[in-house]
Structure 1
């Protein structure tokens, strides 16, 4: 696109009327907000801010972060005065990776500004590309809060499904059959159990919890949901071990194939993948794991996790167990004959995402799904 100009020269930002900042907002090892990227971007924007410019933040943060952390940096670095010499807006990024139906132009854009005029100016800017419409929130804090609860709500809903899966497993019930029956009611929310990875859902609840504790409120449900979802790799690894023993396999040096390492289905991104946590748990039991993912970049996996991906799914076959960890479309083609080919006799099949239908399961195999 001839209208796009890429540069490493921050001085060129001095020409911009709008500066849109959309950098990662992870958590540190203590699960507190890690604002290094946000602060660094604000410093760069501040020292190259021209008078009259508007800075728009899209990164997910806790309510109040833009005004309490970012704006003071902009003022300090620029020497300009907020709401007089420059203006600030917030418009959270809402893209769902791998979702072709909900692209930027098809998602309602929430915007908020430090003044009504700023909000309208930013709304007019985004209107040029967003067809779904613009929603102007009353304040920056409200827009920040709206974004952070979007992902927190999803995290809690999945945590409920995961807790049900833990309960029903103890009761000997098929969780997905229970959910299938419950979903016949019109107002039943259709979520499913699974591993919760990525750089949004597992991180954002901690931002909200951080702010809550800062003002003297201890969040119960938010953190409970996080504990349940973080526990799932450990639970699934324990299930693999129990089923290997049930199948008469020796756990030490058992060969397990893990299908998928990306953080969600049909994407290439492997950052913050909970599948890696599962693999680590399995290897703690002395299990030999092999990972196959047709979408993940082997170099990314090697750089992030110091792991090697299989070049072909049957490279290290036969396996004692297969774990369907990610619902890639490629794995739906795996059938009964292929599983019989790559599994040892009485092989174990762990179907985290409910990919396999019953007719694809070899007779002698032990099958379990989350």
Structure 2
């Protein structure tokens, strides 16, 4: 029996857990731990800062600080708070009370070109954990990180701050989150959980932590670095798939055909040995994960010790996919300009009504939203821009309204950038009446409107991948 195994046996089963970072990942994880009968108490750690302190009071009153549709989340928060099993605190010294702590802190890239992530918040979190770390505790990084970080930077900081040795005095693992806004609880319960410890004892302890919250999902154990690569690769692959359908949509526009017809055709080929993971085109990719995880994967290769054998001078297909997806807001702008030209208008001085600021439907998550670069392009060209979103009501430097009629009144162009459910119900007659234009423009980046309905009412229509409609006769 190793030293760590002895220490863990002496400590006994995990009973008290901490979750550092009360966001889209940390909150649902914390309350699911708290709801598990085998755990006694969960502490959610949140800095008492100007921008985030409101979360502490809301959570301790059983309320969710996350907006948008999150089935079951607020009810579960209320349940575990009432039962005395969950508490949010800004007091990091209470880490010393715990058997296990997870870190769910964002890891963005300030500048992807130099492959240098902004780990400042994560490093601060790791240092806080290290200061109060005790023997036989388990530390788990849930944040998406560059492969090699758990066994490298994280291990080093924890050992420096605590004076303890990872893998001997305390357990250390990476168990990446795999959630999507709008289905947080369901994803944690039902998705398989990747768990990678720095040694076998660490992996087993992490499995003990996560198994009680899984319903359908199972634990998949591996090394810490393999777990890091799994997380970055799965998001990189999804980004690649989105780029593939986005590029196909651009091709279909050029060939004056409907990408959705082609998609249906491609997707229809079924059978043994045939896989077609074909996704949907759109106005751009946003969020915290897909916009950066490719760069974590690329950086992992760059800083690793191994030798990469790859076609000389060839671009990474993953980075190229990122460029295609980053191009889509510019393509939306180009469609807007082309639509205005069809009625003899310039973008300068035109009123553009943007529908959707969140990066994903029916959510308030606006991190890295493709709506922002689109708006920037319009403003730079001299357009007058208004923004509607039923969920995102505040965003730095941007005025957003939940009054749809107010936003599209007198607009020359109505541009759909998010696929919120409410936009599927918008009717051509009503939009034409509110805009007051003889030939208003509709640019659809999420395939939410029926083109013929709007074209028949005198609109100028442009849609991503709708080469069959984008040059229609103006009625």
Which of 304, 324, 342 lines up with 2:416 in the alignment?
Answer: 324
Question: What is the SS of the residue equivalent to 1:291?
Answer: strand
Question: What is the SS of the residue equivalent to 1:6?
Answer: strand
Question: What is the SS of the residue equivalent to 2:86?
Answer: coil
1:114 aligns with 2:114: no
Which of 177, 201, 206 lines up with 2:261 in the alignment?
Answer: 177
CA contact (8 A) 1:38 1:70 kept: no
1:308 aligns with 2:368: no
1:121, distance to aligned residue in structure 2 (A)? 2.0
Which of 285, 288, 301 lines up with 1:199 in the alignment?
Answer: 288
With over 3 angstroms needed to count, the CA separation of the structure-2 counterparts of 1:352 and 1:66, relative to structure 1, is same
Partner of 1:7: 89
Question: What is the SS of the residue equivalent to 1:112?
Answer: strand
User: Structure 2-normalised TM-score?
Assistant: 0.74
Question: What is the SS of the residue equivalent to 1:138?
Answer: strand
1:34 aligns with 2:118: yes
Distance 1:246 1:359 in 2: 17
User: Structure 1-normalised TM-score?
Assistant: 0.94
Question: What is the SS of the residue equivalent to 1:252?
Answer: coil
1:123, distance to aligned residue in structure 2 (A)? 1.0
With over 3 angstroms needed to count, the CA separation of the structure-2 counterparts of 1:124 and 1:133, relative to structure 1, is farther
1:367 aligns with 2:455: no
Distance 1:136 1:188 in 2: 25
1:325, distance to aligned residue in structure 2 (A)? 0.7
1:176, distance to aligned residue in structure 2 (A)? 2.1
Question: What is the SS of the residue equivalent to 2:205?
Answer: helix
Partner of 1:241: 337
CA contact (8 A) 2:171 2:205 kept: no
1:101, distance to aligned residue in structure 2 (A)? 8.2
1:268, distance to aligned residue in structure 2 (A)? 0.8
1:180, distance to aligned residue in structure 2 (A)? 2.3
1:100, distance to aligned residue in structure 2 (A)? 6.6
Which of 323, 334, 339 lines up with 2:431 in the alignment?
Answer: 339
Question: What is the SS of the residue equivalent to 2:341?
Answer: helix
Which of 336, 344, 353 lines up with 2:446 in the alignment?
Answer: 353
Partner of 1:261: 357
Q: How many equivalent residue pairs?
A: 365
Which of 202, 208, 219 lines up with 2:297 in the alignment?
Answer: 208
97-106 or 200-209, which deviates more: 97-106
Please, which runs of 5 or more residues in structure 2 have no aligned partner?
1-80, 465-475
With over 3 angstroms needed to count, the CA separation of the structure-2 counterparts of 1:129 and 1:222, relative to structure 1, is same
Partner of 1:190: 278
Distance 1:340 1:177 in 2: 28
With over 3 angstroms needed to count, the CA separation of the structure-2 counterparts of 1:141 and 1:158, relative to structure 1, is same
323-332 or 246-255, which deviates more: 246-255
Distance 2:150 2:185 in 1: 30
CA contact (8 A) 1:165 1:175 kept: yes
With over 3 angstroms needed to count, the CA separation of the structure-2 counterparts of 1:165 and 1:362, relative to structure 1, is closer
Distance 1:49 1:223 in 2: 38
1:269, distance to aligned residue in structure 2 (A)? 1.4
1:79 aligns with 2:163: yes
Distance 2:184 2:95 in 1: 32
Please, which runs of 5 or more residues in structure 1 have no aligned partner?
none
Q: Deviations over 1:157-192 (max 9, x none)?
A: 111111112222222222222212322222332311
Q: Deviations over 1:251-284 (max 9, x none)?
A: 2211111100001111111221111111111122
Distance 1:87 1:188 in 2: 40
Distance 2:384 2:233 in 1: 39
Partner of 2:152: 68
CA contact (8 A) 1:24 1:37 kept: yes
Partner of 2:18: none
Question: What is the SS of the residue equivalent to 1:319?
Answer: coil
CA contact (8 A) 2:167 2:202 kept: no
Distance 1:180 1:134 in 2: 33
Question: What is the SS of the residue equivalent to 1:213?
Answer: helix
Alignment of 1:275-294 (within 5 A): 275-294=371-390
